[in-house]
Each structure stands twice: as structure tokens, then as C-alpha cells.
Amino acid sequence: MTDGDHRGPDDVTGKARHSGREQAREAVTKAEEVVELLEHARELMTEENPAQSAIEHLHVAIREARSHAAMLESWYRRTYD
């Protein structure tokens, strides 16, 4: 083995931490995308068929998605910033 093949525990820990950070940022981004998609669906439903019950279910889904996205963003900032 060459010197380049040796990895110390700090290298492995640093790479794992970086990977975890990337996965966390991706989760936050995807949660925000879900909110955007749900809001777009709400706009389309309102234009196409203003059925109140379906729209109300969509509003609930949007509130839950926003809450989830905010929770992930808060966790990400506390963990990585």
C-alpha cells in the first residue's frame, strides 16, 4: 500500500459528516419542492374544479408539508450551521 491508501479516522469521519450534510440538505430541498408542487396543484384545482372538499384536503397537505419543510430546515441549521 502507498501512503495515499491510508485513511485516518478523521478522514472517514469527515467524509461521513460531509455525506450526512449533503443528504440533509437534499431532504430540505425535496421538502421545499413538495410544498411548491402542492401549491401548484391547489392552483390548478381551483382553476379546474373548485370542489371545496378536495381543496380543503389539499390545504391540509400543504400546511403539513410546510411544517415538515420548516422542521427540516431548522434541524439542518442547528446541525450544520
Note the pLDDT tens digit of each residue in 24-79. 889 999 999 998 988 888 888 777 766 676 777 888 888 999 999 999 999 989 98
Q: Return d(Cα 37, Cα 32) in angstroms, integer.
A: 9
Residue 10 lies inside a defined structural domain of this protein: no
pLDDT tens, residue by residue, 57-69: 888 888 999 999 9
Whether residue 52 is contained in a domain is answered as yes
Question: CA–CA separation, 28 vs 72, rounded Å?
Answer: 6
Q: Which domain holds residue 46?
A: 24-80
Q: Which residues contact 61 (CB under 8 A, 6 or more apart)?
A: 38
pLDDT range class, residue 9, cuts 50, 70, 90: low
The three cell numbers locating residue 61: 397537505
pLDDT over 80 (residue 7): no
Does residue 1 register a pLDDT over 50? no
What residues have CB less than 8 Å from 28, skipping those under 6 apart? 69, 72, 73, 76
> Which amino acid type is present at position 41?
A
Number of structural domains (the chain) is 1
